[in-house]
């Protein structure tokens, strides 16, 4: 057997694929957003139902992506799916956003948040320096070897889950119950149908983002036709359960009046459970949790860039792998973008319009399940979307509402996102022209040889 062939065999286990999904999803959102939801929603049942709805929507998306990942088991995510379902230009535009800022901006945000939480416990350090150190170190880990990256990812994801489970357990045992009901009460239905509930759902869905992470590394997953759908469903289900329990604990141990309007709801709840040291414990918990989130995005993002390089000659260098089968140039490109965003602190501006473009991409991908089944009715499908067509329709309906809301509420940022897409269209046109020119030269050379 050729050594290179053995190195290029899929190396990611089902457990690691699940870890990537869980790590991508659990970031700062679940520890911070409840306070803003509690400003207008005072019902324990309605608040938990909000997180349940967000989880169900994420599960619906994961079920659809599971079918697409099983029938097209290649890394690249939306870039590959949209290229095959609609047109290569549509796929490239999605990949363009992912390769430039789609992963880099969330990595920068998570790294800076890690720096802030870490400095809150150890104030002698500089938060930007901590952020830069972490992203560089994690990128170097993943640029060496897939097995090393797997162990690193699994360790920090498992640590994060154990810390969250410990927080939940300590909250139940040590926390003082508050006077709040988690059972349905009169008026809860009106709350669920209200504008504040709808607005809060946008931020809840941001906390659930990352449920599709396994599709970005599908080519490296062992038995992807089975394990990619399993990883998407299992990882999303685990996070849904953890999110419901964590928010239950926050409301269980801390008065809703103290949580309302506060960003650091995790620290407030921890102080109720552990005393004055609780806030620092929570800060360290979030810091460790963010390492696995950064790691999963550092792993997934370059695989999109790599697939673009494999399909479009203009970006061929980004498809290059080292002797261990790792796309090191793609990792270095993403790291360079993250470093620039951190040093210039421009990632906050990028994130304001990123939500619209990424939501549009996942919307088109889930819609693509209908198109794919229509275009390829006889293709073998190792896994079929459970609940089809209801599950994709639920996802599409809620995400369409979110897209309309985001565009209406943040028109400027949404137009900026469309501007980035337009720039990608220009790059695609240049790339296609070069590809056609290369094909013409090759054809002429073949004619001369003949």
CATH of the domain at 345: 1.20.1740.10
What is the predicted pLDDT for the residue at 219? Answer: 86
Q: Within a domain: residue 394?
A: yes
Phi and psi angles of residue 209, each rounded to the nearest 5 degrees, phi first: -60, 145
Specify the number of domains making up the chain.
Answer: 1
For 370-418, the DSSP string reads HHHHHH-TTS--SS--TTTTHHHHHHHHHHHHHHHHHHHHSHHHHHHHH
pLDDT band at 45 (very low <50, low <70, confident <90, very high): very high
Cα 64 to Cα 23, 75, 134, 358, 417, distances in angstroms: 20, 16, 34, 16, 25
Place of tokens 């990128």: 139
| Percentage of the residues of the chain whose pLDDT score is greater than 90 | 34
pLDDT band at 263 (very low <50, low <70, confident <90, very high): confident
Q: Within a domain: residue 136?
A: yes
CA atoms within 13 Å, Cβ hemisphere of 108: 24
Q: Which of 98, 25, 70 is nearest to 369 (CA)?
A: 70
Q: Within a domain: residue 3?
A: no
Q: With contact defined as beta carbons under 8 Å apart, do 99 and 75 qualify? A: no
Q: Within a domain: residue 140?
A: yes
Whole-number Å distance between alpha carbons of 300 and 307: 11
Indicate the range of 42-51, 140-149, 234-243 predicted with least confidence.
140-149
Q: With contact defined as beta carbons under 8 Å apart, do 146 and 12 qualify? A: yes
> What confidence tens digit (pLDDT) does each residue in 57-86 have?
999 999 999 999 999 988 888 989 999 999
> What confidence tens digit (pLDDT) does each residue in 160-212 have?
898 889 889 999 998 888 888 888 888 888 888 887 887 788 778 878 988 98
Place of tokens 């049942």: 45
Q: Within a domain: residue 326?
A: yes
Q: Which of 450, 394, 383, 425 is nearest to 68 (CA)?
A: 383
Q: Within a domain: residue 27?
A: yes
* Residue 169: domain span: 10-445
Whole-number Å distance between alpha carbons of 47 and 431: 48
Mean pLDDT confidence for 108-117 = 86
pTM, entire model: 0.84
Q: Within a domain: residue 168?
A: yes
Q: Within a domain: residue 1?
A: no
What is the predicted pLDDT for the residue at 365? Answer: 95
Place of tokens 């993943």: 142
pLDDT band at 325 (very low <50, low <70, confident <90, very high): confident
pLDDT at 316 > cutoff 90: no
CB burial of 395-411 (b: ≥16 within 10 Å; e: otherwise) equals bbebbeebbeebbeebe
Q: Which of 29-43, 251-265, 369-383, 403-417 has the highest mean pLDDT?
A: 369-383
End-to-end CA distance of the chain: 35
Whole-number Å distance between alpha carbons of 262 and 250: 12
> What confidence tens digit (pLDDT) does each residue in 345-355 have?
777 667 667 77
């Amino acid at each position: 057997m050729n050594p290179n062939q053995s190195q290029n065999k899929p190396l990611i286990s089902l457990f690691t694929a699940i870890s990537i999904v869980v790590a991508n999803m659990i970031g700062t959102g679940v520890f911070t957003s409840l306070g803003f939801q509690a400003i207008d929603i005072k019902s324990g049942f309605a608040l938990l139902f909000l997180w349940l709805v967000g989880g169900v929507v994420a599960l619906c998306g994961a079920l659809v992506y599971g079918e697409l990942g099983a029938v097209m088991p290649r890394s690249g995510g939306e870039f590959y799916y949209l290229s095959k379902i609609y047109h290569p230009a549509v796929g490239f535009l999605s990949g363009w956003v992912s390769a430039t800022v789609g992963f880099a901006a969330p990595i920068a945000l998570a790294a800076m948040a890690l720096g802030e939480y870490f400095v809150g416990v150890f104030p002698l350090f500089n938060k930007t320096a901590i952020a830069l150190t972490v992203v560089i170190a994690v990128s170097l880990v993943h640029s060496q070897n897939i097995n090393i990256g797997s162990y690193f990812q699994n360790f920090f994801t498992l640590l994060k889950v154990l810390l969250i489970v410990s927080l939940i357990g300590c909250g139940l045992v040590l926390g003082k119950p508050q006077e709040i009901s988690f059972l349905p009460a009169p008026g809860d239905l009106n709350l669920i149908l209200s504008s504040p509930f709808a607005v809060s759902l946008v931020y809840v869905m941001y906390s659930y983002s990352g449920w599709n992470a396994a599709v970005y590394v599908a080519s490296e997953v062992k038995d992807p036709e089975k394990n990619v759908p399993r990883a998407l469903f299992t990882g999303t289900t685990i996070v849904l359960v953890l999110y419901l329990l964590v928010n239950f604990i926050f409301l269980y141990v801390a008065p809703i009046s103290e949580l309302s309007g506060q960003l650091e709801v995790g620290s407030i709840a921890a102080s109720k459970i552990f005393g004055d040291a609780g806030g620092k414990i929570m800060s360290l918990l979030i810091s460790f949790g963010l390492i696995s989130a950064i790691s999963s995005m550092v792993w997934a993002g370059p695989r999109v860039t790599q697939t673009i390089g494999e399909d479009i000659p203009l970006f061929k260098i980004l498809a290059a792998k080292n002797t261990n089968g790792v796309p090191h140039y793609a990792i270095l490109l993403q790291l360079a973008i993250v470093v620039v965003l951190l040093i210039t602190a421009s990632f906050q501006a990028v994130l304001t319009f990123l939500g619209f473009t990424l939501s549009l991409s996942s919307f088109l991908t889930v819609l693509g399940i209908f198109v794919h089944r229509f275009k390829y009715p006889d293709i073998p499908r190792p896994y079929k979307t459970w609940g089809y067509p209801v599950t994709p329709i639920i996802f599409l309906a809620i995400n369409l509402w979110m897209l309309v809301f985001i565009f209406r509420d943040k028109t400027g940022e949404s137009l900026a996102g469309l501007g980035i897409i337009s720039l990608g269209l220009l790059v695609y046109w240049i790339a296609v022209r070069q590809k056609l020119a290369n094909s013409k030269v090759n054809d002429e050379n073949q004619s001369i040889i003949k």
